[in-house]
Every structure is written in structure tokens, then in C-alpha cells.
Structure 1
């Protein structure tokens, strides 16, 4: 399998993803220290602002996805990429909490909408049998871009001046500006056919079965804050000599996803195989949590370090399985004429995990220790095993969600 897709829409999507991810990687590395150490914002205010922003972003995903369905996903994606660039550019002049809150809410809203519009683009430009592979490529590209951006952010951190931090924000803004221009090279995708007569405008909000599937997936997404937040704190609480290992485990995760996400997605080709992949992810995440729990024992440094590496390896294996399965499920259960709003709704799980995950997991794992890890692992296993029944239940009534009008599924316009 080629590491880079052949020329065409898939390659264009990959390039746009890479460029925007490099800027975001630098931003994520530097933003917290900039707003606390340079702007002078308290860590509490920063945390509250980010939580509020992602809460707003999670609410915006569905209507912006609906906009992509009605007005066309390419134009919507381009508009939201420009909006993201503008939001990041405002960080250059933010000097207090009020403007920061407005800017970060705009950033989270545009990012959530851009993700939904991009998914709708994939639904229109990529054959159903190839979507999971394309999403795996995009995930691999995302990790590569974040790694490159983190390296740029590291340079800014080592310099430590206001100008260095502002240069990072400028790079991120220019990255999304370039992303918007690159997306303009994609073929136009026709807007979806109108909704069924008398049907709700935002049908996904009344689709309880799809909501249950999205909720199960959100539980599994609680893995997201583990590597970036909880595990470094877990290590620091046990040994200052292993403080470097948190960064090393993050690099391990990034490298494995870059190298193996596409391969991990090969076995997923429909709802049954996707449900099995998510179930396997639950098993792997339970095993990962059990190994992390063992690291709480009184062990020599090399023993604790070895357990942490094993736990992180099991975690990234579960992450790749869960990602591949959830992508297939999210697309296959969404009506073809409402891909944007359904993807926007499914994507709210990421915002919820980012908002609630840090508080929940730091309390559960850092305060409870090994029992907390085992409880979290049991939750992952239960969610993984619940996905299959939830998907089968949601699959029963897909026919009723098809438009009554003679509208065809979204297809790309001729180039």
C-alpha cells in the first residue's frame, strides 16, 4: 500500500490535513505556557476557558455539519478553514481573559465544523469501500503533522520570548489559510437532496439509536487525555527520575499510529467487522489499564518503566482498533443525504472527552490509584462489548431515515 495516495482528491485531503496539523502541533505545545506565563492568565481561568470553548464547539458541530449538507461540503470546509485561521490570528493580540474566551470559542467552533464538513467531503468524494482507509491515512498524516509541529513548538519553548510564541500562532494561522486554499482544489460536491417531507431539519438530534452508538464511542474516547495529561502526572507522582518517559510515550504513540493506522484499518470493511474492531479495542484498553495499575506497585525504576511502555503499547493498539471501527460505524449508520450533521454529532464525543475527561480521569486515577485504573479498564471493556448490540439496534431502522424524495446520495460533480 502506497504511503502517499495517488494524485487526486485523496492526496489533496492528505496534504491539507498535514499542513493544518503542523500548525496545530506547534500551537498545542506552546499555547498553555504562553497564556499563563506571558499573558499572565491563571491556570484555572485557562482551563475554564478551554472547557467552555469545547462545550460550545460540541454544540456547533451538528448545525455546521447540516450547513455542509445543504450548501455543499467543499465550500463549507473552505469557509471554516478560513474561520479557524482568523481565530488563531486573534491570539496574536489577546491580552486578557475576555478576548481569549471569544477567540478560543471561535477556534473550537470552527474546528468542530471543519471536521464535520471534511467528513461530508469524504462521503461525497470517496467510495464507501475506501472511506475507512482514507480516514486511516488522514489520521496517520495528522499524527505526522502534530509531531512536526511539536518540534517547532519545542524551538519556541526553548527561546521563550513573546515573539517566539507569536511566531507559532502565525504559523498555525497560515497553515489553516493554506489548508483552505488547498481544499479549493477539490472537485465540487453537490449539496444533499432535501429532507423528507415533514421531517426535522436536524434529524440526528431525534435519532436515539445513533445517539446511543455515539455515547458508547464517547466512553471509549476517554482514552484521549490519558497520554497527554494523566500518564505524565502518574509518572511524576511516583518518580522524578522518570519524568522524561511521559514525552517518550507520547512519541511512541505518535510513531505507531503513523506507521500502522492504515494497516490496522484493513480488516474493517463493514458494520460487523467494525463492531468486532471496537470490541477488540475494549479488550486491549482493559489490558492497558491493568498494566498501568501494576506500575503502582513498589518496583525498581526499570520495572516501572517497562510496565509503562507495555501499557502505552497496548493503549495505542486499542486506539487504532477503536478509531478504525468507529469511522466505519459513523459513516455506515448515517443517511447519505445527512452525512455532515451526523458526522458533526458523532464528533461531539471528542469535545466531550476533551472537556470532561481531564477532571474525571485525574480524580479516578490519581486519587484512587490502581483500583481506579481497573475501574476505567472495566468501563472500556463494557463499552467495547456494548458497541455490537448498539450498532445492530441502530441498523434496524436505517431505511426510515432515507429521504422520501428521489434524491440520490451525495456524489462529486464532474471535475
Structure 2
């Protein structure tokens, strides 16, 4: 995936977009969808508790139920995308997402909230699984590089969406929160409409989906899926664990919560494409997984040590820890993408991506409990244990995949 050069008369925004018209379409759709996701993720919990009036425990129960249902939705959507066309499936999922999120505006009890949450929980896994074969079909170069570019775009859009949601949170009224929910629904629909611009020839169905679940019998792919799933705990460490640790266990100012998140997003936006360029085969992916595990271990140790010192020492340790940790995240994301695409047959990319997401989705569902039991439960030893786990799995990831392939 190449970024356009700088021809005379072309705007700065245009120069940042890919050369391929199809890649530009996917990029714009990704930005729209991610912007809506940033808004909703930032303000949804407050909407459900302050406007709908649900206790936090019931909100969490709905999210967990949606995550569980979403595990199967991703696998099914991937297979459907292989058989009937990635773009057709993805557009349908996005339109369904718009309808599901809109329904949150009508909920008034836990049971209505739970039903809508179960439906809405299918959208993101199904969207990711149906998008995978689409990306493989439209990518003009290495899909890993294009995915790295899309990840940078996603992080930028999420940050801007979070800023937009901040205005609604500051206003703190029912219409303001309803505006956020409506905005998320519009983003889904907008993503679908943009994706309709892709020519049918570029994203047609392969029509060659095999009977049965080939991905579930592929030892190499399942090995990569398992290693990737464990290492995906890094997202819960930065998004769930660290904010609680900063506020409850360190003397660092509370604004360090948003400060570390912004630092993470900026580094991803600036560096993900560059980091992804060196990952062009499964061997390189295994190497990057090992690097990622080491960076995670060091980053977690630095952030854990922030629990004792004075305010500015604690802040410095958190910043240093996040920089190292984000470097691991960049290597992990590039390697994860190569595993997902490089080990999958092109005509079964949807099915394989669905199985790949099944592993990380299962870990995502249990990650808060792991974080509560280890780092938050026993402190520094728990942080070190988590870091050791990520370091070990990253180190053996490449050899494990090679062994499963009989190499």
C-alpha cells in the first residue's frame, strides 16, 4: 500500500490517502465507522447509567452477553463473506449495526437493554470478519501494510470521536447523550454507503467456500490463533487495567489516565505503517511477536513501579512504560495481521479471520477478570506474572507455528 506522492495542486489530505481508489474507499469508510465507535465507547456507559437509569453491574452484564454472542457471529459472518461476497456481507452488517445501535435509544429496562446488547454485540466481530477478505481483495500491495495504515486511521478517528463525545459528556443532558447514540448509528450507515462505491468486480464472491470448517482443522492457523489470543491481553492491560491502577494505586495526577491514552494513540498513528512494512512473511511475524512480548513485559514492569514513588516520578514511569508498551503493541499488531492473512487461503479468508477473531474475542471476554485477579489483586507480583506470560507466549509464538506446520 503506497501513499500518494505530492503532485502539484493536490491537497494535503489527498496526499495522505492511498493510491488505489478502492483502498481510499475502504479508508474513508473505516474513518467514518471508527469515529462513531470513538463517540459511543466514550459516552455509552454514562448514557446507560445516567439516562436509561441502569446500574453499572447490569450494563456490564449486557456487554458481556454481547461479547459472548459476538464470538459465533464473527465466524459465521466470515464464512458468509467467502461464499456470497465480502462487500455485500460487510455492508449488510454495517446497516444492521445502525439499526441495532438506534434501538438503544428506545430501551427503558434491563431486559430490553439486554436484548439489544446481544444483537449489537454481533456487529463488531461480524464486521471485522467480513472486512478481512474485502481488504485482501482490494489491497494493492502487502495487506499487512494496508492494515497498518488502516489502524493508524482508526486510532485517529477514535481519538476525534472521543473528543466529540466529550462535548456531550460536558453538556450532560438526555438530548446530548441521545445525539451520541444517533451519531454512532449514522456512522454505521455512512460506512455502508461509502462501501457501496466499491466496484463489484473488485469485491465479488469467490464462490469456492469449502464444506465444513477448514480453519478449525488447520493446526498451523489454530496455533497462531492461540498465541495471538493470549498476547491480545495487552489491550485490556492498557485500556482497562492502567486507568484503574493510575487512579487507585499511584500518586500520579488523574489526568495521566487520558495522557497515557493520548500518547498511545499518537504513537500508533505515527508509527504503525512504518513498523508494519518490515513484516512480509510468517517468519518475520514470529520475530515481531517475540519482540512484542519483551516490550510488553518491560512496559508493564515500569508501569507497575509507579505505585510507590512521588507524583512526578510516578508520572515519568507511566510515560516511559507506555512508550515501551506501545512499541510492543505496534509489533504485535503487525505480526497479528500477518498471521491472520499470511496463513489463510485467499478464498477462505473470511472463515479463517472469523476463527482468528474467535480466539482474541474469548480472551477479551475474560480479560477484565484476569486483570482483577493478577495486577489489581496482588499488585506488583501480578504485574510481573502478566508480563512474564506475555513475554513467554511472544517468545514461543514463532517456533509454535513452525512446529505445527512440521518445519
120, 143, 154: which one pairs with 2:155?
143
Aligned to 2:180: 168
For residues 305-349 of structure 1, give each alpha carbon's deviation from its aligned partner in whole angstroms, at most 9, with x where no partner exists. 100111111111100100001101111111222110101111123
1:205, CA displacement in angstroms? Answer: 2.4
SS across alignment from 1:268 = coil
Asked if the contact 1:74/1:183 (under 8 Å) is kept, the reply is yes
Matched, 1:317 2:327: yes
TM-score normalized by the length of structure 1: 0.91
Matched, 1:212 2:223: yes
Matched, 1:330 2:344: no
383, 388, 391: which one pairs with 2:398?
388
Separation of aligned partners in 2, 1:242 and 1:13: 39
TM-score normalized by the length of structure 2: 0.93
Separation of aligned partners in 2, 1:105 and 1:141: 28
SS across alignment from 1:168 = helix
- Choose between structure 1 and 2 for higher RCO, CA contacts under 8 A separated by at least 6 residues: 1
Asked if the contact 1:218/1:353 (under 8 Å) is kept, the reply is yes
SS across alignment from 1:334 = coil
Asked if the contact 2:251/2:307 (under 8 Å) is kept, the reply is no
Map residues 189-338 of structure 1 onto 2, 5 A cutoff: 189-195=203-209, 200-239=211-250, 242-297=253-308, 299-338=309-348
SS across alignment from 1:18 = helix
Aligned to 1:134: 146
Aligned residues: 392
1:44, CA displacement in angstroms? Answer: 1.1
Separation of aligned partners in 2, 1:239 and 1:306: 12
Aligned to 2:105: 92
Structure 2 unmatched runs, 5+: 4-15
Separation of aligned partners in 1, 2:251 and 2:107: 35
1:49, CA displacement in angstroms? Answer: 1.2
371, 374, 379: which one pairs with 1:369?
379
1:246, CA displacement in angstroms? Answer: 0.7
Aligned to 2:367: 357
Structure 1 unmatched runs, 5+: 398-415
Aligned to 2:35: 22
1:4, CA displacement in angstroms? Answer: 1.8
SS across alignment from 2:121 = helix
Map residues 89-128 of structure 1 onto 2, 5 A cutoff: 89-127=102-140
Asked if the contact 2:35/2:158 (under 8 Å) is kept, the reply is yes
Separation of aligned partners in 2, 1:271 and 1:223: 21
Separation of aligned partners in 2, 1:13 and 1:347: 20
Separation of aligned partners in 1, 2:55 and 2:101: 20
Separation of aligned partners in 2, 1:393 and 1:331: 19
Separation of aligned partners in 2, 1:7 and 1:271: 26
Q: Which moved more, 1:371-380 or 1:361-370?
A: 361-370
SS across alignment from 2:18 = coil
Aligned to 1:404: none
Q: Which moved more, 1:365-374 or 1:233-242?
A: 233-242
For residues 197-240 of structure 1, give each alpha carbon's deviation from its aligned partner in whole angstroms, at most 9, with x where no partner exists. xxx42222233432221111111110112222211111111346
For residues 357-377 of structure 1, give each alpha carbon's deviation from its aligned partner in whole angstroms, at most 9, with x where no partner exists. 111112211111111111001
1:118, CA displacement in angstroms? Answer: 0.8
67, 78, 88: which one pairs with 1:54?
67
Asked if the contact 2:251/2:314 (under 8 Å) is kept, the reply is no
Matched, 1:38 2:51: yes
Asked if the contact 1:221/1:349 (under 8 Å) is kept, the reply is no
SS across alignment from 2:307 = coil
Asked if the contact 1:73/1:121 (under 8 Å) is kept, the reply is yes
Separation of aligned partners in 2, 1:395 and 1:89: 46
1:120, CA displacement in angstroms? Answer: 0.7
Separation of aligned partners in 2, 1:42 and 1:235: 24
Asked if the contact 1:282/1:318 (under 8 Å) is kept, the reply is yes
Q: Which moved more, 1:208-217 or 1:376-385?
A: 208-217
Separation of aligned partners in 2, 1:359 and 1:38: 27
